[in-house]
Chains A and B, each alone.
Chain A
Amino acid sequence: QVQLQESGPGLVKPSETLSLTCTVSGGSISSYYWSWIRQPPGKGLEWIGYIYYSGSTNYNPSLKSRVTISVDTSKNQFSLKLSSVTAADTAVYYCARVGVVPAAPYYYYYMDVWGKGTTVTVSS
């Protein structure tokens, strides 16, 4: 079955750029949306954004000015970049697949496969 694995530095300095990659195994990255979600220590979940395998994106407006999500279909990977980080960006970062079920005229979206998460600490 499809598995996701996050990777990237666990420590980032303030004002620098956080960069994470999610590798998809056991299935193709094509024909799905892929999302990033984060969870600060002891707090709830925050949706960061998603990307379609074709490259179209949708970001949370609260982070939009600092976020870039990209996809590399040849490597079955998608990535997150978050610029100008502060201590408030310290969190566990999860990647997830977005499942879709048609429900005319719209679609049901839900995050059905998650990576295990990776902890990113912003500190000098």
Chain B
Amino acid sequence: DIQMTQSPSALSAFVGDRATITCRASQSISNYLNWYQQKPGKAPKLLIYAAFSLQSGVPSRFSGSGSGTDFTLTISSLQPEDFATYYCQQSYNTPYTFGQGTKLEIK
């Protein structure tokens, strides 16, 4: 199985800050990488697919980059509704695997 490792596990930031979350794959996955946002008690929501393609309806302050083994999710200017847990997920092969999550908290 491909292991996905996110860093940091938790991040505190102010509204308006820029936030960056990193995801590393245990082998090259090209750009078969998705990002999800999950709020407490809610289902995950797709933000970005194929490493950098923004899902319809997702604000443009979210962006993704990377290829191979290293990927980044960036939120350019944090809004109150962005404080949540974020997961990366590889779809290079099955079993699909997720990172352990990054909890983004308001400072």
Measured CB to CB, the residues of A under 8 A from B are 44-47, 58-62, 94, 99, 101, 103, 106, 108-112, 114-117
Contact = CB atoms under 8 A, between A and B. Distances in A.
B44 A45 contact: yes
Nearest to B45: A114
Contacts of B99: 44
A45 B87 contact: yes
A59 B55 CA distance: 26
Grouping DSSP codes into helix (H, G, I), strand (E, B) and loop, the B interface class, with mixed when no group exceeds half, is loop
Nearest to A115: B43
A114 B44 CA distance: 7
Given A108-B32, A112-B55, A47 B50 contact: no
Interface of B: 1, 32, 34, 36, 42-46, 49-50, 53, 55, 87, 89, 91, 94-101
A44 B98 contact: yes
B84 to A, nearest CB: 14
A110 B34 contact: yes
Nearest to A109: B91
A110 B43 contact: no
B91 A110 contact: yes
B50 A45 contact: no
Nearest to A35: B96
A106 B36 CA distance: 22
A44 B101 contact: yes
B45 A47 contact: no
A94 B43 contact: yes
A114 B97 contact: no
Contact of B95 (A61, A99, A114, A116): A61
